[in-house]
Homo-oligomer: A and B are copies of this chain.
Amino acid sequence: MQQRRADHIAVQLEELIFDGTFQDGQRLDEVRLADQFGVSRTPLREAIQRLALSGLVDLIPRRGAFVRQPGPVELIEMFEVMAELEAACGRLAARRISDAALADLRDANARCRAAVEARDSDSYYTENERFHRIIYQQSGNGFLEQETTKLHKRLKPFRRKQLGFRGRMAQSMAEHEAIVAALEQGDGARAGDTLHKHVAVQGEKFHNLMASLKSAAE
């Protein structure tokens, strides 16, 4: 799924949208971007098509591609779905998880704890990602893993922002412990519930953040 250039360009464009370089509603000028990337319009158009399929841009026929940043409502919705998917992973993983994977989870958690104590939100983020990825894998359902990973990736920039919340890292840490405990005991329902809350709360936190930013601006 990667003829080097179009693939590379798609990834770069994604980055530019994620980090906010491209504002919401901004049109992606094919010739300008093609020039900028030093390629012709053809591979660039392919990249844009891919962004459109992932929902990052709206493609309006004969008008062009317009950046489509999700608004607060859609973000909440996406986190809600994320919570459901992660919960499903957890429920399945509780039945199927291997001892080796449990050890990996505990290892990731230990590193998370170290990051919390070191107030190192970057490495916390990295280890947190590893933690969740293990659970996706251990669901034993490749398709679920794939879909969950896709949404996880899409929510990445927003999750990252809300990590700076006061006390969020410590709270998140505690939730991780509870999740591992539930998985250890093979308690799928509890693992699912805990994961659901763990993820859904991120959406709510983010919503609060957005609201506070908005009211501060007024």
> Is A2 in contact with B81, judged by CB distance below 8 angstroms?
no
Q: 5 more A-B contacts (CB under 8 A) besides A74-B143, A80-B143?
A: A1-B58, A42-B42, A77-B144, A78-B143, A81-B88
Cβ contacts under 8 Å, A49 to chain B: 46, 49-50
> What per-residue 1/0 map shows which CB atoms of A77-98 lie under 8 Å from chain B?
1101100110010001000000
CB within 8 Å of B: which A1-43 residues: 1-4, 42
Question: Which chain A residues have a beta carbon within 8 Å of chain B's beta carbons?
Answer: 1-4, 42, 45-46, 49-50, 52-54, 58-59, 61-62, 74, 77-78, 80-81, 84-85, 88, 92, 141-144, 147
Q: Which residues of B sit under 8 angstroms from A142, Cβ to Cβ?
A: 74, 77
Q: Which residues of B contact A54 (CB under 8 A)?
A: 53
B50 touching A81, Cβ below 8 Å:
no
